[in-house]
Structure 1
């Protein structure tokens, strides 16, 4: 039977796969009822993304080194890297540290904040989220410090407006299942905001995102992503994508920023760490799953990558959670 060339996904499909992996985990939502004057100082939230939807009223967003930005009703703002920022009703309003403001804890992952001086009312829904998958982390790493969507095309604006209204209604009503509805809707909003950025931002044509769009390097990345357990080499990847070894190696490193074998090792380790947190498989099975011939070789590579043996990651996974009591190590309220 003749060999049939393996079909490769189009570059847009590779981006689509990465967006598909943008699943929010460890999500905490705060519905805020804010009356002017008010101000909130949000500290650094390392490893987390903040999501802010203004469902009524308006506020100012301040980030060091940038001009204050007016956030209007219906706007969506992502702060992908968890940098410190301030939210105010107006430029002169005093700010209070976020974790000094009392909240009503409705559930482990949902809280209500009522704060301010009794004037004009602003409603916001503020989410703090985390992405586990290495593809999602790679994509998020290229996003700007603040990603703000205020003006949408007509078609997008229609469904966005409906989605924001539904979030607002769920946040206000707190009906059974409301947390799940808001979380799923937030998935959609985050992906749509990133898609909008991908379509328009010059930075989206650099680095790993540019590599996904490249015909040969994108094909190689697809192979590594889908079969990390295979014993890949630079030569075998070059053959698969129809390039010479030297040309492929140079192009991969130029676009991705690291060699193909270093990328594969990092990809395997990140997948393995995520897998260890979710399963109780023996380490020998995990090692084979991610391309290592022995448990000892896997453990050595894991410790080089993360500074601790894989067993430590598995133990820690039972202890780490993002809850209203403290956002990823923030002081308890």
Structure 2
């Protein structure tokens, strides 16, 4: 397996907002969450809970020290036991007590509150979400013994409950980077330990397909064809095409097109990049071909997209300025996002719309 495939997969995935909270629960309790456009993290600090998606799938038990990642923010309940009566997440969010910079403390159930769970919502930009990321399973569960094989992840998780309550200089930025680390290292463990549970994870572990994915995501501007990608993967054309579709969920050239056009959206959001240069930078030999592909994918021209992004960014900046003033005037209600936007896995400022802060992850 190419050792950089995960970095190339996550490189376009920009973290633009975060909310984290410490949950304390007691008695028989339950919380019903909702679908959200973010990745959600649940880390069981003390005791455990049961996760249920409300369908025919079996409940998932989390024990002390377990970590659950929801890559797509899929709606679920988490409770003391299966079938427990639940409270809507939206009803609990307003009850958050100030718990430090950018965090909240939520209590549910009845005293004594012996169950403790660290939760986080990681909001990323849909502009950069790679196609393979969308194919990840709705939940990835890492048991305590798996975390013990990744000392950096385990130390980060065990340090976060005390860190998120601090008000020391830079604490919000430290917390933001820590949750980035948790997210990336969790996916790395999933690739190594849970590949058989998901076609997308198997694709990242497959020697040939992972090599092709690294080429597509890292060198998307190259004039790739199915034949050249198959050679890169060390596979015959027919076998490569079949296995790629089975594991990734779409043909190789479709995956390449989506990667190129997502990069085009990122470049269009950056007005310092001349629009005439974008087609060549993402691998198109002609402006016409780029315009046709972009319009087919997004139902608008590249120029229209840039204009709309520019208008939306201006509106968002005014909203953010007002939101910052509101937080300063009413600090006790603040449970705002972390420090300025980050990026997976490197530190780059994300362009585009930043969503308003959300309540604790559910």
Same fold per superposition (TM over 0.5): yes
User: CA–CA distance in 2 between the matches of 1:259 and 1:90?
Assistant: 42
Structure 2 residues without counterparts, runs of 5 or longer:
317-352
1:292 and 2:280 aligned: no
Q: Which whole-Å deviations, capped at 9, do the CAs of 1:79-105 have from their partners, x for residues lacking one?
A: 222221112234464322112221346
Matching residue of 2:347 = none
**Aligned residues of 1:22 and 1:191 also touching (Cα < 8 A):** no
Q: Is contact 1:284–1:294 with CA below 8 Å preserved after alignment?
A: no
- 2:73 aligned counterpart, secondary structure: coil
Q: How much has 1:147 moved relative to structure 2?
A: 1.4
CA drift at 1:134: 8.3
| Bigger RCO (CA 8 Å, 6+ sep) | 2
TM-score by length of 1: 0.76
What root-mean-square deviation, in Å, do the aligned CA atoms of Structure 1 and Structure 2 show?
A: 3.6
Say whether 1:230 aligns with 2:222.
yes
Q: Give the total of aligned pairs.
A: 313
Give the Cα separation in 1 of the matches to 2:19 and 2:100.
10
C-alpha distance in structure 2 between counterparts of 1:183 and 1:134, whole Å: 20
- Could you state the TM-score of these two structures normalised by the residue count of structure 2? 0.71
Alignment of 1:100-111 (within 5 A): 100-101=91-92, 102=94, 103-104=96-97, 110-111=103-104
Q: What SS does the corresponding residue of 1:31 show, helix, strand or coil? A: strand
Distance 1:172 1:83, change over 3 A: same
Q: Establish whether residue 32 from structure 1 lines up as the match of residue 15 from structure 2.
A: no
Aligned 8 A contact 2:136 2:201 in 1: no
Cα distance in 1 for residues equivalent to 2:4 and 2:289: 34
Tell me the equivalent position of 2:242: 254
1:36-60: CA deviation from partner (whole Å, max 9, x where unpaired): 4432210111x42211112234333
Q: Which moved more, 1:62-71 or 1:264-273?
A: 62-71
Question: SS state of the match for residue 105, structure 2?
Answer: strand
Aligned with 2:216: secondary structure?
Answer: helix
Match of 1:127 in 2: 120
Q: What is the CA-CA distance between 1:123 and the residue it aligns to? A: 2.7
Q: Distance in 2 between matches of 1:242 and 1:40?
A: 49
Structure 1: 5+ residue stretches without partners? 1-9, 329-333
Contact 2:220 2:282 in 1 (8 A): yes
Say whether 1:167 aligns with 2:160.
Answer: yes
Pair 194,223 (structure 1): closer, same or farther in 2 beyond 3 Å: closer
Distance in 2 (alpha carbons) for counterparts of 1:183 and 1:113? 20
CA separation of 1:108 and 1:49: change in aligned 2, threshold 3 A: same
The match for 1:59 is 49
Deviation at 1:155, TM superposition (A): 4.7
1:44 aligns with 2:35: yes
User: Aligned match of 2:134 in 137, 141, 146?
Assistant: 141
Aligned positions of 1:1-333 closer than 5 A:
11-15=2-6, 17-18=8-9, 24-45=15-36, 47-64=37-54, 65-91=56-82, 93-101=84-92, 102=94, 103-104=96-97, 110-132=103-125, 137-153=130-146, 155-156=148-149, 159-203=152-196, 206=199, 209-210=202-203, 213-215=206-208, 218-234=210-226, 237=229, 247-248=236-237, 250-257=238-245, 258-278=250-270, 280-309=272-301, 310-311=305-306, 312-316=308-312, 319=316, 320-325=353-358
For the residue of structure 2 that corresponds to 1:34, the secondary structure is strand
Comparing 269-278 and 130-139, the one that deviates more: 130-139
Select between 104-113 and 167-176 the one with higher mean Cα deviation.
104-113
The alignment partner of 1:129 has SS state of: strand
CA contact (8 A) 2:41 2:69 kept: yes
Distance 1:59 1:12, change over 3 A: same
Aligned counterparts of 1:317 and 1:233: Cα–Cα separation in 2: 36
State whether residues 51 and 76 of structure 1, in contact with CA within 8 Å, keep that contact through their aligned partners in structure 2. yes
Structure 1 residues 164-188: Cα deviation after superposition (integer angstroms, max 9, x where no partner):
2210111233444333222222222
